[in-house]
Amino acid sequence: MGAGPSLLLVVLGGVLGGMGRVWLGQWVGRHAPSEFPWGTLVVNLLGALALGGIAAQGSAGGALWLLLAVGLLGSFTTVSSFAYQTLTLLRGPRPGLGWLNLVMTLALGLAALMLGHALGVGLLAPGAA
């Protein structure tokens, strides 16, 4: 696949993922108001779960990977917001929340990725529904 179609897939996925992140982040923020960045945590965990499932399908490098993993999930999840919010919490009056955010995001993110991968592999198993 050429650069043009590849970029178009990433752009399409990116637009959808970015819009999804803003919507879900704001929705979570309204339903779980606190100084802790629950919205960012939720989008990052859902993104890790989805990426695990996509990776289990073995589509790395193909059109579906560009659309979903690079475009959609790349713009849906956010390392930069996570890092900024963690730093802000660490410098604030309750720095323990920053450490909690760091540990929860990394540990739960890896667990979500592993779960998504296990679910994705299970979908490929013979006789899987």
Asked whether residue 33 is domain-assigned, the answer is yes
Contact 82, 25 (CB under 8 A): no
Q: pLDDT at position 126, please? A: 66
Asked whether residue 47 is domain-assigned, the answer is yes
Contact 34, 99 (CB under 8 A): no
pLDDT band at residue 127 using 50, 70 and 90 as cut-offs: low
The count of C-alpha atoms lying within 13 angstroms of the C-alpha of 109, restricted to the half-sphere facing its C-beta, is: 17
Q: pLDDT at position 2, please? A: 84
The count of C-alpha atoms lying within 13 angstroms of the C-alpha of 93, restricted to the half-sphere facing its C-beta, is: 1
| Number of domains comprising the chain | 1
Contact 105, 87 (CB under 8 A): no
> According to the annotation, is 74 in a ligand binding site?
yes
What are the tens digits of pLDDT across the range 23-63?
Answer: 999 999 999 989 999 999 999 999 999 999 999 988 777 99
Asked whether residue 25 is domain-assigned, the answer is yes
Range of the domain at 81: 3-124
Asked whether residue 86 is domain-assigned, the answer is yes
> According to the annotation, is 78 in a ligand binding site?
no
Asked whether residue 46 is domain-assigned, the answer is yes
Higher pLDDT among residues 112 and 57, named by residue = 112
Asked whether residue 95 is domain-assigned, the answer is yes
Asked whether residue 129 is domain-assigned, the answer is no
